[in-house]
């Protein structure tokens, strides 16, 4: 009877520091030389970043890489026989891991830096808020699904009259899908004719300033039909990922009598594997909270998220613009490095016990410490050290 082949991952530290010690003396040097951190190819070294069930992160080799290394050493005549595999207790199967994603290191210094950062982050996340842990897991699943280039990723936004939220005045969408591996994008903006002259009291009136095409003026019946058709048509291309910024109100609008979109089975949990169909809800406010290390209920505005991601904005509170900036924000995060590496590249040395770097970091958290001028577009250098802001421009037009 043939035993089933079990695949999975090995901890980097087990392979690099422990594996050779269990081998005969003659096989140790060839293995150690092949694993040397100087042995980087032209395209660097691909490893894997895995999240354990306790939410700690580990750098990993795949079992396929380990198998290949054994056969390569023997084929090159560097070992007399195939060297034995690491002991079975080292193997992490898929059930041992919440998430795994590939990561490439160009140089040995990048790899060394990542190992140190992973160790720091694991200490800082001790006792972290469960909500933060969940957000971090969702962030990595989004990255994996985005890399698969599967389905349609569509950002939606509504605007309503601020004196009566049953009066929907605008709708905007911006989506991306893939044909033969190439991105295809579309965006649009609808204005409801019957409410065109209703002006807001508390929210900016930017419905006439769509920046990514021509707005369409439609009556309420057409407005309803167009949105229903859009949502139905996009589901023909596989899984549909509906993207919102703080989704609660927009989903209410989708289900309201003014729209009545056919969405009986919205999924708020992402699947572990690539789906073939289904409608899934993503929220850029949650994803950014994961990136900045926020575990509470504080949600950043779209303007603030885009500024921190260095996505320039103009004429926010136009539904078409807001949808497009929401899509750009998720693309920035989903197409980037794994969460902790991405955060560190964007805002280096801004987490943990930054006031006392030599103090213990266990439980210090991974919340990014932003400077005042990064948080407030109206912050002036007269109030502290920071960039001078031209206050003659609307807030939304100030580039990040």
The rounded average pLDDT for each run of 10 residues, N- to C-terminus, in the chain (400 residues) is 68 92 92 74 79 90 93 93 88 88 86 88 84 93 94 98 94 96 95 94 93 98 98 96 95 96 90 91 97 89 96 97 98 95 93 58 73 75 45 40
Instruction: Give the start-end residues of each E strand in 162-252.
Output: 164-179, 182-192, 216-218, 240-244
Report the DSSP pairing between strands 152-161 and 97-105: unpaired
Integer Cα distance of 91 and 88 in angstroms: 6
Q: Which helix (H) or strand (E) holds 57?
A: strand 57-62
Edge-to-edge strand order for the sheet containing 97-105? 9-11, 57-62, 45-52, 97-105
Q: Is 362 exposed, middle or buried (0-12, 13-18, 19+ CB in 10 A)?
A: middle
| pLDDT for 6 | 67
Q: Which helix (H) or strand (E) holds 186?
A: strand 182-192
| pLDDT for 377 | 67
| Contact present, 79 and 73 (Cβ < 8 Å) | yes
Q: Is 395 exposed, middle or buried (0-12, 13-18, 19+ CB in 10 A)?
A: middle
Residue 172: left (phi > 0), alpha (psi -120 to 50), or beta? beta
Helix, strand or coil, per DSSP, at residue 387: coil
Contacts of 201 (CB under 8 A, 6+ apart): 162, 163
Residue 2: left (phi > 0), alpha (psi -120 to 50), or beta? beta
Tokens at residue 42, please?
């032209």
| Contact present, 16 and 36 (Cβ < 8 Å) | no
Tokens at residue 74, please?
């023997």
Tokens at residue 210, please?
């769509």
| Contact present, 145 and 241 (Cβ < 8 Å) | yes
| Contact present, 335 and 329 (Cβ < 8 Å) | no
Contacts of 248 (CB under 8 A, 6+ apart): none
Closest-CA residue to 115 (of 8, 12, 9): 12
Q: Which helix (H) or strand (E) holds 104?
A: strand 97-105
| Contact present, 177 and 202 (Cβ < 8 Å) | no
Report the DSSP pairing between strands 266-267 and 279-283: parallel
| pLDDT for 171 | 98
Tokens at residue 151, please?
């389905």
Closest-CA residue to 32 (of 22, 42, 41): 22
Residue 369: HSE in the Cβ half-sphere, 13 Å Cα cutoff? 10
Closest-CA residue to 311 (of 213, 399, 210): 399
Integer Cα distance of 238 and 123 in angstroms: 40
Closest-CA residue to 306 (of 242, 394, 400): 400
Q: Model pTM?
A: 0.83
């Amino acid at each position: 009877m043939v035993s089933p082949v079990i695949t999975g991952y090995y901890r980097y530290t087990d392979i690099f520091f422990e594996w050779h010690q269990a081998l005969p003396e003659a096989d140790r040097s060839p293995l150690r030389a092949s694993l040397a951190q100087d042995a980087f190819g032209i395209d660097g070294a691909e490893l894997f970043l895995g999240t354990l069930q306790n939410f700690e992160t580990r750098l990993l080799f795949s079992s396929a890489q380990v198998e290949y290394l054994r056969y390569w050493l023997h084929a090159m005549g560097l070992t007399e026989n195939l060297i034995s595999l690491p002991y079975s207790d080292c193997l992490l199967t898929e059930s041992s891991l919440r998430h795994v994603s590939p990561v490439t290191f160009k140089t040995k210094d990048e790899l060394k830096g990542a190992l140190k950062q992973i160790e720091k982050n694991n200490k800082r996340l001790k006792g972290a808020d469960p909500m933060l842990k969940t957000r971090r897991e969702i962030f990595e699943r989004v990255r994996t699904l985005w890399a698969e280039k599967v389905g349609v990723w569509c950002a939606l936004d509504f605007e309503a009259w601020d004196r009566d939220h049953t009066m929907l005045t605008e709708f905007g969408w911006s989506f991306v899908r893939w044909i033969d591996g190439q991105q295809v994008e579309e965006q649009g903006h609808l204005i409801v004719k019957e409410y065109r002259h209703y002006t807001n009291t508390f929210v900016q009136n930017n419905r006439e300033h769509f920046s990514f095409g021509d707005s369409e003026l439609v009556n309420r019946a057409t407005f309803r039909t167009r949105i229903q058709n859009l949502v139905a048509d996009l589901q023909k291309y596989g899984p549909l990922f509906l993207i919102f910024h703080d989704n609660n109100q927009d989903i209410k609008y989708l289900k309201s009598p003014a729209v009545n979109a056919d969405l009986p089975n919205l999924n708020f949990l992402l699947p572990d594997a690539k789906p073939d169909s289904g409608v899934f809800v993503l929220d850029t406010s949650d994803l950014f909270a994961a990136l900045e290390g926020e575990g509470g209920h504080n949600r950043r505005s779209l303007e603030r998220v885009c500024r921190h991601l260095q996505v320039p904005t103009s004429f926010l509170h136009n539904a078409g613009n807001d949808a497009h900036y929401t899509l750009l924000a998720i693309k920035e995060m989903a197409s980037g490095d794994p969460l902790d590496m991405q955060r560190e590249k964007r805002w280096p040395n801004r987490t943990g016990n930054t006031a006392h770097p030599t103090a213990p970091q266990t439980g210090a958290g991974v919340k990014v410490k932003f400077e005042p001028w990064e948080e407030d577009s109206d912050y002036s250098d007269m109030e502290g050290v920071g960039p001078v802001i031209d206050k003659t421009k609307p807030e939304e037009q100030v580039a990040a």
